């Protein structure tokens, strides 16, 4: 049954990519849920995360350390710490002074920030593509052979496991911890939460930090999976993740996860049907269709505009 | 004091954390392997110095400066009366007139390179005033404006390539095609709220670029299409090119002199100037018509507009379509000047640059846009500066939004004020 295997393979590939989209999408959706703005620079944070991961991995390799768990831990830790710092600083510098005005003003500032970060990385690290070898080669094969069966690489398994753990951690944090409760309160009603003694500035900064850290997780995973980075990859990743967030219903965290998975699968099958060079068109087309027919997304609540 | 010390230390650590890994450690390819190289001592000193400066600022200066209100006065500012008069419509009109006279005369005394740059400037002014209708007047953030620019350019290039159309016949068709694209895209998406619209238009711009790159049979793929000399702009049938097919009259034949490319450059400049003046005139009139008033009303308050019986979708759609048509004209001219269109001329960065022009100039203000386009193109042309150009664009966009969201030269409506 070569056809069935082929489709199953596409499904697996789509779900893998989709789960990383979901991780990035959470950053968009949390920020949108609380202050109602699109953090356009989020994709660049993801790009910076992948650079930090590559730097960490290369540094370890230069020191002659090649134990896989150590590489993983260092790459994740370095990348998450640095992107968290970026997430916090971006909010503090470019968005906080603009809060509460016209909606377009923070968005333009965010576009400026995105251009700034992309070019800063390009100037500091030059714009050539950088490649590393896959630190976790090998794969499971289901079916008769790798040509006639479903191949799941160890890297894909790792992506699934880490993504699942990250989401589990986030869900527990949001639903159980005191800070998580404060986050939910702010998403419900920012002003009221402020009146009730929640430091909303800190909570908003926290959502940026969480979003950035999750983007870093995605960056490390995808960086190792594809093995190639350049300063431009943040733009596309950001748009895709935003599409995922809108698809699932922006403002809703389970929605972002669902949206990411749906987008990943749709892209895999779409590219299979219309050709790989139109993969991005499939994603954008899906975004436009969703916004046309169900602007609130799959799990979103309709927004009532108040005067 | 301890609080200041804490925030100061926190900021300093944060600054090192965001700058050292990216600026201080450089990934470089050695052979087939990657290596990390440390940056020069100079860079490290700068990072350290900046961290120290931010710490000292928090410890010593911040309270004193912000407490005494010095920070506000520290920004340079023009005298109040002069600032006020610069934003009045009739003053701006006179300035425009003066600029037009200068623009008409100087190319005959300028150098070839300068006139060429001025032509580029005019293209950006055209794009700026077109996008200004959508962003500045109607308040719709359009990040895919470059898509319509591409449509205009490719319409002309393809008409010339496959049907042998000349510039002047292709110009209105390019504008109309871009407007049609604007209409077709705007029709479904304009029901969306502002920030969604921004992303959808961005996606649309990218879709157009990807299509142009991949439909190789029609668009020439990544190599693009070049415009043959006989289809380039002519003046009542007189061509300004060096080599043309038999039967086409060229200027240097007519004058009986040898070919001089200066004539062509000035001619293109004058066409661009004509297009820009027409665009400015039309938009100026539109702004005084009910439709223009409706755009601005919609920008200010959509719900109030609905209550007063305006149909927001129609109003937005008209802004979107008319804005797109100007991009189409600009694209057509761009193709004629360049002689070659490729998909890579129409990336998101181009959209961002046009948006930066509108934002920098002051949303809604035409004089501001002319000024901003001039500054942007000049920045682009300074060679040593070119690397840092986009970096500075990005930074300017952030700083403008924080300090002067109304732009450098905002527009003022004639209005009365009650003084308390």
Percent of chain B with pLDDT over 90: 10
Nearest to A160, CA basis, from A22, A41, A266, A273: A22
On whether residue A88 sits in a domain, the answer given is yes
- Residue B35 parent element (H or E): strand B33-38
ipTM of the complex: 0.83
Q: Which residues of A touch B200 (CB under 8 A)?
A: 287-288, 291
A104-131 in b/e form (b: 16+ CB < 10 A) is bbbbbbbbbbbbbbbbbbbbbbeeeebe
What topology is assigned to B86-403 in CATH?
ABC transporter involved in vitamin B12 uptake, BtuC (1.10.3470)
Q: Which residues of A touch B355 (CB under 8 A)?
A: 108, 111
The shortest CB-CB distance from A288 to any of B198, B203, B405 is to: B203
The shortest CB-CB distance from B25 to any of A55, A111, A118 is to: A55
Q: List the CATH number of the domain containing A273.
A: 1.10.3470
- B192–A114 CB contact, under 8 Å: no
- pLDDT score of B68 more than 70: no
For residue A295, CA distances in Å to A31, A74, B34, B140, B186 come to: 18, 40, 45, 17, 15
- A235–B188 CB contact, under 8 Å: no
- Looking at chain B, which residue has its C-alpha nearest residue A282? B207
The shortest CB-CB distance from B195 to any of A52, A103, A113 is to: A103
User: How much is the pTM?
Assistant: 0.85
- A248 alpha-carbon distance from chain centroid: 14
Q: A64 — phi, psi (to 5°)?
A: 85, 15
- A81–B17 CB contact, under 8 Å: yes
Indicate the domain borders of chain B: 2-74, 86-403
The segment with the largest mean pLDDT, out of A48-57, A137-146, A147-156, B195-204, is A48-57
Provide the β-strand partners of residue A130.
A229
The mean pLDDT value for B183-192 works out to 80
Q: Which residues of B touch A205 (CB under 8 A)?
A: none
On whether residue A307 sits in a domain, the answer given is no
| A44/chain B closest Cα distance in angstroms | 13
Query: Under DSSP, is residue B393 helix (H, G, I), strand (E, B) or coil?
Result: helix
On whether residue A236 sits in a domain, the answer given is yes
Q: How far apart are CA B315 and CA B214, in angstroms?
A: 35
- Looking at chain B, which residue has its C-alpha nearest residue A32? B195
pLDDT tens digits for range B253-272: 666 676 777 777 888 888 88
* CB-based contact A35:A250 (threshold 8 Å): no
Q: B46 — phi, psi (to 5°)?
A: -65, -45
Q: How far apart are CA A166 and CA A210, in angstroms?
A: 11
- Looking at chain A, which residue has its C-alpha nearest residue B347? A235
Number of folded domains in chain A?
1
Which residue range forms the structural domain that includes residue A239? Answer: 2-293
- A82–B21 CB contact, under 8 Å: yes
pLDDT tens digits for range A208-249: 999 999 999 999 998 888 888 888 888 888 888 888 888 888
- Work out the angle at residue B239's Cα, subtended by the Cα atoms of residues B234 and B242, and round it to the nearest 5 degrees: 140
- Work out the angle at residue A89's Cα, subtended by the Cα atoms of residues A86 and A90, and round it to the nearest 5 degrees: 80
Nearest to B136, CA basis, from B296, B279, B350: B296
pLDDT tens digits for range A264-303: 999 888 888 887 778 888 888 888 888 778 777 777 766 6
Q: Which residues of B touch A101 (CB under 8 A)?
A: 405
Least confident of B59-73, B174-188, B309-323: B59-73
Q: How far apart are CA A219 and CA A35, in angstroms?
A: 25
On whether residue A304 sits in a domain, the answer given is no
Q: How far apart are CA B378 and CA B117, in angstroms?
A: 8
- Residue B340 parent element (H or E): strand B340-341
- B402–A62 CB contact, under 8 Å: no
Q: How far apart are CA B24 and CA B51, in angstroms?
A: 14
């Amino acid at each position: 049954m070569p056809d069935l295997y082929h489709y199953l393979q596409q499904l697996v590939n789509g779900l893998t990519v989709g789960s990383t989209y979901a991780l990035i999408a959470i950053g968009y959706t949390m920020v949108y849920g609380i202050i109602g703005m699109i953090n356009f620079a989020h994709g660049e944070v993801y790009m910076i995360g992948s650079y930090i991961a590559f730097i960490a991995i290369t540094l370890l390799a230069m020191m002659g350390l090649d134990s896989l768990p150590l590489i993983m831990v260092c790459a994740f830790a370095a990348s998450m710490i640095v992107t968290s710092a970026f997430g916090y600083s971006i909010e503090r510098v470019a968005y906080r002074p603009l809060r509460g005005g016209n909606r377009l003003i923070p968005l333009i500032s965010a576009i400026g920030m995105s251009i700034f970060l992309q070019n800063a990385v390009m100037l500091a690290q030059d714009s050539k593509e950088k490649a590393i070898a896959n630190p976790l080669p090998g794969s499971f094969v289901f079916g008769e052979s790798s040509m006639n069966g479903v191949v799941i690489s160890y890297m894909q398994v790792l992506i699934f496991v880490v993504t699942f753990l990250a989401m589990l951690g986030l869900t527990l944090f949001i639903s159980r911890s005191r800070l998580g409760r404060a986050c939910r309160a702010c998403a419900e009603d920012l002003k009221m939460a402020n009146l009730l003694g929640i430091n909303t500035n800190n909570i908003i900064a926290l959502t940026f930090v969480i979003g950035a850290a999750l983007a870093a997780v995605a960056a490390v995973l995808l960086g190792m999976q594809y093995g190639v980075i350049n300063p431009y990859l943040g733009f596309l990743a950001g748009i895709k993740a935003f599409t995922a967030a809108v698809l699932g219903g922006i403002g809703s965290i389970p929605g972002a996860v669902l949206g990411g998975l749906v987008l990943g699968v749709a892209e895999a099958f779409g590219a299979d049907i219309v050709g790989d060079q139109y993969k991005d068109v499939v994603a954008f087309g899906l975004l436009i269709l969703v916004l046309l027919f169900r602007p609130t997304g799959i799990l979103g609540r309709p927004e009532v505009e108040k005067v | 004091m301890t609080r200041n010390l804490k925030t100061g230390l926190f900021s300093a650590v944060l600054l090192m954390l965001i700058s050292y890994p990216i600026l201080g450690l450089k990934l470089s390819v050695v052979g087939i392997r990657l290596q990390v190289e440390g940056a020069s001592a100079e860079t490290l000193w700068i990072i350290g110095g900046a961290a120290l400066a931010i710490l000292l600022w928090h410890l010593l200066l911040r309270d004193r400066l912000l407490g005494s209100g010095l920070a506000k006065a520290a920004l340079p500012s023009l005298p109040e009366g002069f600032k006020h008069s610069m934003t009045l419509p009739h003053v701006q009109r006179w300035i425009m007139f003066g600029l037009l006279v200068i623009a008409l005369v100087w190319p005959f005394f300028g150098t070839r390179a300068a006139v060429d740059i001025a032509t580029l400037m005019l293209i950006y002014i055209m794009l700026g005033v077109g996008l200004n209708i959508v962003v500045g007047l109607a308040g719709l953030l359009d990040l895919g404006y470059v898509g319509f620019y591409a449509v205009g350019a490719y319409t002309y290039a393809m008409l010339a390539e496959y049907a042998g159309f000349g510039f002047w016949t292709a110009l209105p068709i390019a504008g109309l095609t871009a407007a049609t694209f604007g209409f077709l895209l705007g029709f479904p998406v304009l029901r969306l709220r502002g920030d969604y619209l921004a992303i959808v238009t961005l996606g649309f711009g990218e879709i157009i670029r990807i299509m142009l790159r991949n439909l190789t049979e029609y668009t020439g793929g990544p190599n693009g299409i070049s415009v043959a000399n006989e289809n380039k702009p002519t003046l009542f049938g007189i061509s300004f090119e060096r080599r043309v097919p038999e039967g086409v009259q060229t200027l240097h034949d007519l004058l009986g002199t040898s070919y001089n490319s200066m004539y062509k450059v000035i001619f293109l400049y004058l066409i661009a100037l004509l297009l820009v003046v027409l665009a400015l005139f039309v938009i100026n009139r539109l702004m005084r018509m009910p439709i223009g008033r409706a755009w601005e009303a919609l920008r200010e308050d959509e719900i109030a507009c609905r209550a007063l019986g305006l149909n927001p979708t129609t109003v937005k759609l008209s802004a979107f379509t008319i804005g797109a048509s100007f991009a189409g004209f600009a694209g057509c001219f761009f193709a004629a000047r360049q002689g070659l269109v490729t998909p890579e001329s129409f990336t998101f960065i181009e959209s961002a640059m046009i948006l930066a022009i509108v934002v920098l100039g002051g949303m809604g203000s035409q004089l501001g846009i002319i000024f901003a386009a001039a500054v942007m193109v000049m920045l682009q042309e300074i060679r040593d500066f070119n690397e840092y150009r986009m970096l500075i664009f990005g930074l300017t966009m952030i700083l403008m939004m924080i300090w002067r969201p109304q732009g450098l030269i905002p527009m003022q409506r004639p209005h009365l004020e009650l003084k308390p």
